[in-house]
Structure 1
Amino acid sequence: MRPVLCNTLDNGGGAAIAARRLHLGLRGLGDDSVLAVMQQSGDTPGVHAVTSRLRRTMQPFIRQAERLPLLCYPGRDRRALFSPSWRPSGVHRRIKALRPDVVHLHWIADSFLPLHSLARLGVPVVWTLHDTWALTGGCHILKGCEGYRHGCGRCPQLGSGAGVDMSSLGYALRKSAYKRLNLTIAAPSRHLEFLAKSSPLLQHFPIIRIPNGVDTDRFRPINQRLARQMLQLPQDVPLVVFGAVSPGSDPNKGFDLLCAALGALPTPLRKQVCCAVFGGSVPAGEMPLSVIELGHLHDDVALALAYSAADVFICPSREENLPNTVMEALSCGTPVAAFRTGGIPDMIADGENGALAPCFDVKALADGIAWLVQCAPEKKDQLRNAARQKALSEYSLHGIAQRYHDLYLALLSGARPSA
């Protein structure tokens, strides 16, 4: 069986990581999986750039051309990603040339695969939702807006007060494009499953919940002292770790909430705790305690060392689907402190493998961090064991790949996937 997975990139960002991992998991099962991308940056087997060299060279200009209509909205939220999908493209022909049995979409925005061309693929389509772009008029994060329930328009992220705007036009485009699709929606979290079932665009399609997977052999517990030695981190201090792509510049990642929570730690503890950050730099002087920047960790071994070195991994995000960082930390046996938002409650059981705080209550998050750092050694061992078991039982890449393999077979046999 040949599933063709589609993602704009093969590396960089949570969706790319999840898609690449699933691709490798499917190949491990014996499937002839192909990962079709716009731009290929690595040498992973079976990854194909399905755009021409000229197209890849011109991509910065094409991206700007697709975003030209956004100039009509000078008051838009420039920190929020809004992706139109109107530009003609022949990428679907290149995907068809790969002879797929099933096309499995992941994150296809940024002018990779236009929505109006999906029906031309001619095979069953599975779409794993990594954000809300498939069910809105163009935004990737709702920020509390419920316009997706009634056709969008008056988009707060565009700063629009008009009933007919780019969001309502994008919504209408989706409505037209989806009518002709043999589509199955896969939601990695209960949160996105709920949004999909609440969406007039998607609720009529089969919607199933399959989480993303993690390689539990690569992400495994490493002796904490050894991990700290390898990364040149201090040995005998409480260490918390935070990591994200552009951690200090993406408001959704909650760096400001992290600083507030760490600043709310009891003073004696705050003077002891050190925070290690990976994924990029953070604004100088904003952290209320000692900080070590690990920079970009480009391989799984370095990431596993960072998680294993930590007493606690902190995920202070405002909105999340099923974050890879939390999954990786759990797989390394590291408890997680986070807000009860998005898909994170699927992963963290408060008091069992981490600490959950009410959304954006920084004092409660600080209390959770302090408890995880200061609890008795026996309890720490229980937390670490429970974290590891959660990853093994629910997020093992082999098991997730098998679930998708079975889904593809069901679709090819003509069966309707069950929720």
Structure 2
Amino acid sequence: MDGHTAAGLRAPDMMVERLCVVHLAQSDSEGGANKAAYRLHSNLLRAGVESILHCGRKHLNDATVVPAHLPGVGNFVSDVAAYFNARSLRQYPNRMGTPFSPMRFSYGRLDTRLLSRADVVCLHWIAGGFLSAGNLQAIKKPMVWRLSDIWPFSGGCHYPGTCVGFERACGSCPQLGSNSDDDLSRSGIRLREDGYRNLDLTVVAPSRWIADLARRSHLFGGMRIEHIPTGADLTVFYPRDRLAARARLNLPAGGHFVVFGALGATTDPRKGYAQLRIALERLAASSNHQLTLVTFGSDEANRAAQISRFPVCHLGRIDNQDTLANVYSAADVLVAPFLEDNLPNVVLEAIACGTPVAGFAAGGIPDAVEHESHGYLAPAGDSEGLARGIAYILDRLEDGHMRSNAGAFARRNFDLLKCGERYIELFREVAESRA
């Protein structure tokens, strides 16, 4: 029996006494944060926990996912709420292009009978107009909030950049282009202060980076904050035969493939596509390496056919996990040029497939990549350093050590089942504490 099958057979041994967890998330499948919520929910079910995902935008045909909106309106109402929230941003014509999510309007309608069954309510990504802070006051249960970004303790931004306004109740928000202390970010903090008052709330940080930010924050600084990494499903993401993976994807058997993938990979500046382009141009000018860049998750816009002398192959959006595992296994390097991120799923999934990572030492990425062991970390934004990292890995492919180190590191630190066990321990603890 191979390792990935054995890992999948451990779940029945994790049976627990009666525990009901209701998860609240914007969606069951849109974006990395919501996919992580669904994975945790599914993992709890496999472990014998009564788990229900209560979400604003349901797409999956799964009876354990229950929509949290008025009957018959589908996803339309979420678009309406998002529109009216976005209108409040019009008063800031100089704002940056970074995402900022006001919480003035919410569309989520929580099922009180469902919540009454819960021993613990686990919050995930509830932005996008799904829930406001005030909605949380109606949940008379102990809550655990898994941080996908800093939105729960900011005035509305999702990533802070160099701003530390979240430490002092925001105001004069650089992302809004605001010079007023009494701006939308400050009102967002006030709404959160009122909504979080007297909640039985425990915070879970997937990365050490976001745990540190939460401890420094005005809103969460005095709360209990636990560090539990996001897990990768090792029954899906495991090292596969490279040539067979390339054949399944209709990629040539020979040559080096460097993979870059993210939601909005080529259009979201935070994903670092611009820095990646510069890195590849530097690599082309300074080395004899020949490679093909393979991207996925990118929009139709900005799809270059070639960067310098390197061809680019675009796979588009990939929702099937087995296909993703083949993409990682077919690659020689996953490049993670993210300028700011919590703990990217693509990095965890890639190393689980034995694929080394060249990236920036930004956000939670250093939690998953050991420099010069199974990857290479350059300072954030340093395109020349990223080029050196790609070359460093390509030069060491033949001995196989980086690939084996990557898989071993993932099994040791990011096994979804082990992470699920830690969540179950925490859920049981907070439930028993309330009882």
**TM-score normalised according to structure 1 size:** 0.95
1:350 corresponds to 2:371:
yes
Task: Report how far residue 266 of structure 1 moved.
Answer: 4.6
Q: Partners of 2:54 and 2:336 in 1: how far apart? A: 30
The C-alpha deviation readout for 1:246-289, integer Å capped at 9, x for no partner, is 11111110000110111111547566111111112443356222
Alignment of 1:204-353 (within 5 A): 204-267=222-285, 269=287, 272-280=290-298, 281=300, 282-284=302-304, 287-288=307-308, 289-353=310-374
2:173 paired residue number: 155
Asked if residue 128 in structure 1 is aligned to residue 146 in structure 2, the reply is: yes
Alignment check: 8 A CA contact 2:147 2:204 kept = yes
- Are residues 1:24 and 2:24 paired? no
The aligned counterpart of 1:100 is: 118
Change (3 A) 1:224 1:98: farther
User: 2:92, 2:176 within 8 Å by CA — same for their partners in 1?
Assistant: yes
Q: Is the 8 A contact 2:101 2:156 kept in 1?
A: yes
Give the Cα–Cα distance (whole angstroms) in 1 for the partners of residues 208 and 255 of structure 2.
Answer: 37
- Summarize deviations over 1:53-79 as a string: whole Å, max 9, x none: 2263333222211222212112112x2
**Counterpart among 368, 385, 409 of residue 428 in structure 2:** 409
Q: Secondary structure at the match of 1:292?
A: strand
The answer to whether the 8 A contact 2:143-2:202 is kept is yes
Q: 1:360 aligns with which of 381, 390, 397?
A: 381
Q: Which residue of 2 aligns with 1:191?
A: 209
Q: For each residue in 1:128-153, what CA deviation from the matched residue of structure 2 results, as whole angstroms up to 9, or x when unmatched?
A: 11101011100001111111111111
SS state at 1:233 partner: coil
User: Does the Cα contact within 8 Å between 2:57 and 2:78 map onto a contact in 1?
Assistant: no
How much does 1:290 deviate? 0.6
Structure 2: give runs of 5+ residues left out of the alignment.
1-18
Alignment of 1:69-88 (within 5 A): 69-77=88-96, 79-87=97-105
Task: Give the match for residue 406 of structure 2.
Answer: 387
Q: Could you tell me how far apart the structure 2 residues matched to 1:270 and 1:12 are? A: 40
Contact 1:106/1:128, CA 8 A, preserved across alignment: yes
CA contact (8 A) 1:263 1:270 kept: no
Q: Give the whole-Å Cα distance in 1 for the aligned partners of 2:286 and 2:177.
A: 45
- Confirm or deny: 8 A CA contact 2:68 2:108 kept in the other structure: no
- TM-score w.r.t. structure 2 length? 0.91
1:95 and 1:222, CA in 2 relative to 1: closer, same or farther beyond 3 A? farther
Corresponding position: 1:57 with 2:95:
no
Q: Distance in 2 between matches of 1:367 and 1:3?
A: 46
Instruction: Write the letter of the residue equivalent to 1:275.
Output: L
SS in 2 for 1:4: strand
Farther-moved stretch of structure 1 (296-305 vs 46-55): 46-55
Distance 1:178 1:299, change over 3 A: same
Mapped to 1, the partners of 2:143 and 2:397 lie a distance apart of 50
Residue 86 of structure 1 and its aligned partner are, at CA, apart by 2.3
Q: State the alpha-carbon separation in 2 of the partners of residues 276 and 97 from structure 1.
A: 44
Paired residue total: 413
Listed one character per residue, the Cα deviations across residues 171-228 of structure 1 (whole Å, up to 9, x for unaligned) are 1111222122100000000000100110121011110000111110101111111111
1:109 aligned partner: 127
SS of the counterpart of 1:414? helix
Relative distance call for 1:175 and 1:292 in structure 2 (3 A) is same
Distance in 1 separating the partners of 2:378 and 2:106: 45
Moved more, 89-98 or 235-244: 89-98
User: Which segment is superposed worse, 407-416 or 232-241?
Assistant: 407-416
- Structure 1 counterpart of 2:91, one-letter code: C
Q: Is the 8 A contact 1:153 1:166 kept in 2?
A: yes
Q: Which moved more, 1:110-119 or 1:122-131?
A: 110-119
Determine the C-alpha separation between the residues in 2 that align with 1:167 and 1:293. Answer: 38
Contact 1:92 1:118 in 2 (8 A): no
Distance 1:234 1:31, change over 3 A: same
How far off its partner does 1:339 sit? Answer: 0.3
2:226 and 2:135 mapped to 1: Cα distance?
Answer: 24
